[in-house]
A and B are shown apart, each in its own frame.
Chain A
Amino acid sequence: SFVLTQSPSVSVAPGKTARITCGGYDIGGKVVHWYQQKPGQAPVLVIYYDSNRPSGIPERFSGSNSGNTATLTISSVEAGDEADYYCQVWDSTSDVVFGGGTKLTVL
């Protein structure tokens, strides 16, 4: 089965840039989506197809995908960005796969 690996936690000071990574074998050959989940809430799609933002998602959120790592970048981090972030792909053997999630803490 296809596995997506995320660091359990990332900490960043307000106003700085947070980078959340998602590792998987040749993930650059797949399409990656990212979700934000705040405590007690449903996930929200923040990046789709590697680097596209749905309407309503701030430009501070961006994504990239190459090689064995996809990255969600949040610039000028705000306190309201504190949440769990999940990457997700589709794989021909595993169907939909989610990463284990990364907890973003804003210091």
Chain B
Amino acid sequence: QVTLRESGPALVKPTQTLTLTCTFSGFALNSGGVCVSWVRQPPGKALEWLARIHWDDEKFYTTSLKTRLTISQDTSKNQVVLTMTNMDPVDTATYYCARTMVAGPNYSFDSWGQGTLVTVAS
């Protein structure tokens, strides 16, 4: 059974750095064809893809936030970590991690964590 769980602070102040951890089980990130991604959703708004890390440690980021995002993995702990610098109130959102299936250049998210709400406020 594939499970993912996000953890991190519920509240961060503007300009601070957010660190979120995705702990997963039921699959291995070191097998080809599997990635882990982060997706966020501001309250009442649409999903927005943020970043993806591949089994070979290749990393991809959404262009608009590339300078603020870092994704990394700890295969020994089955964890993927996302950091976002210089947080702003507009970054208030539910942040999801998701197992990402890869076939050629196509990516689909077949399992999701329950999400963690991060509020940015002073």
Binding site for B on A (CB under 8 A): 1, 31, 33, 35, 37, 41-45, 48-49, 54, 86, 88, 90, 92, 94-101
Given known pairs A42-B112, A95-B60, A96-B37, the reply for A90 and B46 (CB within 8 Å) is no
17 further A-B contacts with Cβ under 8 Å, apart from A42-B114, A48-B108, are A31-B106, A33-B108, A35-B47, A42-B96, A42-B113, A42-B115, A45-B110, A49-B103, A88-B47, A90-B105, A90-B106, A94-B63, A96-B107, A97-B49, A98-B47, A99-B46, A100-B46
A44 to B99, CA, bound (A): 12
Q: Which of B39, B46, B60: most chain A CB closer than 10 A?
A: B46
Shortest CB–CB separation between residue A68 and chain B, in angstroms?
Answer: 19
Query: What is the chain A residue whose CB lies nearest that of B50?
Result: A96
Judged by a CB distance under 8 angstroms, whether B52 is at the interface is yes
Give the residue of B46, B60, B106 whose beta carbon is less than 8 angstroms from that of A98.
B46
A43-B109 in contact (CB<8A)? yes
Among A41, A45, A94, the residue within 8 A (CB) of B108 is: A45
Distance between B26 CB and nearest chain A CB, rounded to angstroms = 15
Which residues in B have their C-beta under 8 angstroms from that of A48? Answer: 101, 108, 110
Convert B93-122 into 0s and 1s, putting 1 for each residue whose CB lies closer than 8 angstroms to a CB of A. 000100001010111111011110000000
The answer to whether A92 and B48 have CB atoms under 8 Å apart is: no
10 A-B pairs (CB sep. < 8 Å): A35-B47, A42-B112, A45-B108, A45-B110, A48-B101, A86-B46, A92-B105, A95-B60, A98-B46, A98-B48
Q: Determine the chain A residues whose CB is within 8 A of the CB of B49 once the complex forms.
A: 95-98
Nearest to B97 among chain A residues (CB) is: A42
Closest 6 CB pairs of A and B: A96-B49, A42-B112, A98-B47, A33-B108, A31-B106, A48-B108
CA distance A23 to B55 in the complex (A): 32
Residue of B39, B46, B103, B112 near A101 (CB, 8 A) is B46
Contact B115 A86 (CB under 8 A): no
B113 touches A95 (CB 8 A): no
Is A43 touching B110 in the complex (CB atoms < 8 A)? no
A96, B52: Cβ atoms closer than 8 Å: yes
